[in-house]
A and B are shown apart, each in its own frame.
Chain A
Amino acid sequence: MSRKKIKAQLRVFKELENQLMTQADRLGVREHYTPIHMLELEHDALQQHTLAFYAERANLEYEMQMLGTDKKETLIKLERLHVYIKRAERMKMQYEKRIQMMLEKLMPEKENALKAAKKIKKISVSIGGRN
């Protein structure tokens, strides 16, 4: 697919998303769809696709070994699936990284908070102790 077509398709996705967001805004649930939530949606979808790819690969392997189907065709499919799976794994990592980064952005003083939590844990309070 040419670069121009890819850009056009991505623009279509963006437009669809914008329209749905406008509808969510009119419904009063715009704040529910934060950038993190959107990323999570994509991450979930990616996971589902990855699972589907794995299942398809298992099916193709079974088909090739047990049933007498066209091996050349199956091998080509397997090769394509391998590429897709690798790509999916890479994308999943990227998504996780981005989600993590966004969460860190939302909590800038996370380290300070953790330190404070540790200090709180260290403090022990005895109730009804000796005089």
Chain B
Amino acid sequence: MSMQPQINTGFAQEKLYAMAHKAQQQQANQEVAPKEQQVEQTKNEQLTSLVWETVDGKDGAKSFDLRGKDVVYLTSISSALAEDEVDAVSNRKKLKFRDRAEKILKDKMVKLAMDCFSHNFFVAELSKMGVGIISGQLSMLGVSPAEIKELMSQAKREKMAAVNTGLKQVASEKVLFGLVTGARIA
């Protein structure tokens, strides 16, 4: 005997009802408001994790659509087949998935490369591993090794600036502590 999976639609229905109610209230408010404010035809509604889009028709009727999120799953980029899929989607939806993924990965890589110089051994080693993985992914996205090297040197520069600022801050705090408490800080 096979068990049929049951979907509890109660919550979704409640949510839809709440959305419709809210939209109705908004429509009532818009009727009172001046015409200049009614130029905007599309409004975004957000209750939980889903992003709802309210589309106002010409005849005043409203419809709701779920808006897709521009998210790139990194695991899907790792295979050539998935890469083709991403390309196809980006062509279809006019979204630059590749550029966005590249930018996210570059930012992440700089942060991880900065952590490579951490005083904490485990953090440093883990970051090195992360840098390796992300540089691999960047290579698959078509980023040249020279660019990856440049990212690493940028991270190093940023870390050096951070260390310098940190030391200055510690010195300042130490001195202020000595001034306020009268303790010998030397």
Binding site for B on A (CB under 8 A): 1, 6, 9-10, 13, 16-20, 22-24, 26-27, 29, 33, 38, 41-42, 44-46, 48-49, 84, 87-88, 91, 94, 98
Q: List 28 interface pairs A-B (beta carbons < 8 Å), by A numbering.
A: A6-B181, A9-B177, A10-B177, A10-B185, A16-B166, A20-B167, A23-B117, A23-B159, A24-B160, A26-B117, A26-B118, A26-B124, A27-B163, A29-B160, A33-B167, A38-B167, A41-B168, A41-B171, A42-B175, A42-B185, A44-B168, A45-B168, A45-B172, A45-B175, A49-B172, A49-B179, A87-B182, A88-B179
Chain A residues, Cβ within 8 Å of B170: 13, 16-17, 20
Known: A13-B173, A20-B163. A27 touches B117 (CB 8 A): yes
> How big is chain B's contact interface, by range?
20 to 34
Known: A23-B163, A26-B117, A94-B186. A84 touches B180 (CB 8 A): yes
Residue in B closest to A52 when the chains form the complex, CB atoms: B176
Residue in A closest to B178 when the chains form the complex, CB atoms: A91
Chain A residues, Cβ within 8 Å of B98: none
Q: Is B119 an interface residue (CB 8 A)?
A: yes
Chain B residues, Cβ within 8 Å of A94: 186
Q: How many A-B residue pairs have CB under 8 A?
A: 81
Q: Is B174 an interface residue (CB 8 A)?
A: yes
Binding site for A on B (CB under 8 A): 116-119, 124, 156, 159-160, 163, 166-168, 170-183, 185-186
- New contact pairs (11) apart from A23-B117, A45-B171, CB-CB < 8 Å: A13-B170, A17-B167, A23-B159, A26-B118, A29-B160, A33-B167, A38-B171, A41-B171, A84-B180, A87-B179, A94-B186
Residue in A closest to B120 when the chains form the complex, CB atoms: A19
B119 touches A19 (CB 8 A): yes
Chain B residues, Cβ within 8 Å of A17: 167, 170
Minimum C-beta distance from A102 to chain B (A): 12
A23 touches B175 (CB 8 A): no
B173 touches A1 (CB 8 A): no
B168 touches A23 (CB 8 A): no
Chain A residues, Cβ within 8 Å of B179: 46, 49, 84, 87-88, 91
Chain B residues, Cβ within 8 Å of A41: 167-168, 171
